[in-house]
Amino acid sequence: MSLNQDNRTMIGINDLPVTRREAIRRTLLGMTGLMLADHLVPSVQAVTRPATAKSVIQIWMWGGPPNLDTFDPKPEAGNDYCGPLTKPIETNVSGIRICELLPELAKQADKYSILRGMTHGINGHETAAYQVQTGRKPGDGQVYPGTGAVVSFFKGYEAGYKGLIPPYIVLTELQGRFSEAGFLGSRAKPFATGGDPSQNPFVVEGVVAKGITEKRQRDRRELLDNLNTLAQVQKEDPSLQAAEKCKQQAYDLILGDAGKVFDLSQEKDAMRDQYGRTTFGQACLMARRLVEKGVPYVTINYKGWDTHKQHFQAMRRNLPILDKGMAMLLKDLSDRGLLGSTIVWWGGEFGRTPKVQWEPPWNGGRGHYGKAFCHVVAGGGFKGGRVVGATNATGEEVKERPIYPPDLISSMYELLGIDTNAKLPHPQGLDVRVMAAKAEGMETAGRLTEIM
């Protein structure tokens, strides 16, 4: 892999080719600390570039993945911080090293950028998940919609999306302790597939039923129409007519071609193998099939990262699964020419304590840590092979270029062509914008212009 000059110089933050404004900002930051950041960069900027991204695949690491054992290794920090994972590996971008348990992702590093400066300081799951996925602080009396609801609102049916597949899909279960739709309400809720994509067939709740033949489906449908006496008596009723339309859409998915997108057996065995025959691996393949059909937002809700105990055992078990699935997703999207229009966003609600909790009852666990963590973005207009932000020698403090949740979310919206100052429909008619204005008190250090 040959690298261009640009890539190489982006590796360390101190070597960044920077604009004059950036340079001034850094100097100021260096002198007065991170607090100043939000005074320098407005959090709401008008969209200035043509949209490059059409879809988002969000790999949601529910529970909070560690930064040290994934994309921000600190082998010099010693056993208290690294535990047994002390040998990070080189990636295909020279100078970028990641955890030794992610060898496949190391081969794809030119496709993604690592955001090592993520911070919000919150250590509770719900509040952190809310902040990372809405870019808002809780407590002003509103429950804001998450990125999936916002993107599928601006890119969904109201924006001319015509697909039968709902514009916001969650593989496979809802987050549960996070209201994806917020005040946008049930019309913005995602469709959760249920089932397990690594099973054959992938039983998508409502779309694919096990053990009901197509003939029986058709016979049943006719029986229902014959017995639907109230609907026959009240043909003119608008609510029953709307319900009938919904039923037709449902059948288009059950019996029509649209539902076939969930049939993973249409993929070649070799392709399925490359993703890994795991729930996560096949969910990645499923996500690729969905964006191929134009679905604007797909969340892979990947649970199991809240590793308070037996942390390193869990990493040895889970990281190879993540590695294989996510690396293949990036490669496959790229091979198909879809990466340029698809943002892949990896991360959780926070990171984990860089200092290992060796004491009982944790016996080698990592706690919640919102002060410094990392996310990864790829595609859709984000440049690859870069690192944005840096933590200190132990990974506990953001030392350079903090990235607050609204910085990341606003950047994605910009690439998607969503105006962060556009109004959201609010049930009480309040004037609510896609992202908070500076005056609303959210910390920000500006969009990720370094990689856009």
List of residues contacting another protein (CB under 8 A):
126-127, 130, 138-141, 143, 166, 173-174, 176-179, 183, 185-187, 189, 191-192, 194-195, 203, 205-210, 212, 216-217, 219-220, 223-224, 226-231, 233-234, 236-237, 239-240, 242-243, 246-247, 249-251, 253-254, 427-428, 430
**120 neighbors 172 (Cβ within 8 angstroms):** no
Q: Least distance from C-beta 182 to another protein, angstroms?
A: 9
Q: Which residue, 220, 245, 227, is CA-closest to 209?
A: 220
User: Phi, psi at residue 226, to the nearest 5°?
Assistant: -70, -30
Closest to 303 measured CA to CA, from 177, 149, 398, 394: 177
User: Minimal distance in Å, beta carbon 240 to another protein?
Assistant: 5
Shortest Å, Cβ 309 to another protein = 14
Among residues 20 and 215, whose Cβ is nearest to another protein?
Answer: 215
Q: Of the two residues 247 and 309, which places its CB atom closer to another protein in the complex?
A: 247
Shortest Å distance, C-beta 143 to another protein: 5
- Which phi and psi (to 5°) does residue 358 adopt? -80, -20
Do the strands 168-171 and 191-192 form a parallel or antiparallel pair, or are they unpaired? Answer: parallel
Q: Least CB distance from residue 129 to another protein, whole Å?
A: 9
Question: How many H-runs (helices) and E-runs (strands) does the chain carry?
Answer: 14, 16
Long-range contacts (CB closer than 8 Å, 24 or more residues apart) made by 162-166: 163/258, 163/293, 163/294, 163/295, 164/249, 164/252, 164/253, 164/256, 164/258, 164/259, 165/253, 165/258, 165/261, 165/290, 165/293, 165/295, 166/190, 166/191, 166/295
Closest distance of CB 229 from another protein, Å: 6
The nearest distance, CB 210 to another protein, in angstroms, is: 7
Closest listed residue to residue 10, CA positions, set 86, 109, 119: 109
Report how far Cα 75 is from the mean position of its chain's Cα atoms.
27
Q: Which is nearer to another protein, 57 or 181 (CB)?
A: 181
Q: By CB neighbour count within 10 A (0-12 exposed, 13-18 middle, 19+ buried), where does 226 fall?
A: exposed
